[in-house]
Structure 1
Amino acid sequence: MDICIETTPSAQQRYELRFQSLFNQGRAMVFPCNEHGQVDLDALSERARENYFYARAVIGFEYATPAVTPDYSH
């Protein structure tokens, strides 16, 4: 028996780009992204955009290299 599941936009997997703190395991900066880790900067608020650029600038100093992870918050 074949089962066919139709994928709708609401059923599509969402992802997040996670910058984990190198010094505090409970601290991270997280941004919505696609499965390739690309963040839609136009969709971010000004503050989130500033945080995103900051996290990218301090990779290796304050935050680890970001990882793309599934977003289970929805």
Structure 2
Amino acid sequence: MNSSHACTDYELRFNALFAGRRNYAFPCDALGHVDIDSLSERARINYLYARAVMGIELAWPEVRPSLWH
């Protein structure tokens, strides 16, 4: 990534559309770009899943300040 900020200042958050379902969050830059190569294999699979079910099981994602930095 070309950003001077680490990819942990923000998160791309996918909220579940239905109660009792899982939410997903991934580190991203301020524009919502996720460095997929830096994700673990499990996180990469979850990220691709979340993108595939947007509008079906998960809401469209939001970029938020990360709670982890």
Deviation string 1:25-60 (CA, Å, 9 cap, x unpaired) is 773100000000000001001110010000000001
The partner residue of 1:41 within 14, 33, 36 is 36
Deviation at 1:17, TM superposition (A): 0.2
Q: Which position in structure 1 is the counterpart of 2:62?
A: 67
Structure 2 residues not aligned, in runs of 5+ = none
- SS of match in other structure, 1:48: helix
Matches within 5 A, 1:5-24: 14-24=9-19
Deviating runs (4+, > 3 A) in structure 1? none
**Number of equivalenced pairs:** 65
Name structure 1 gaps, 5 residues minimum: 1-7
- Higher Cα radius of gyration: 1
Q: TM-score, normalised by structure 1?
A: 0.77
Report % sequence identity. Answer: 54
Measured on the aligned residues, the alpha-carbon RMSD in Å equals 2.3
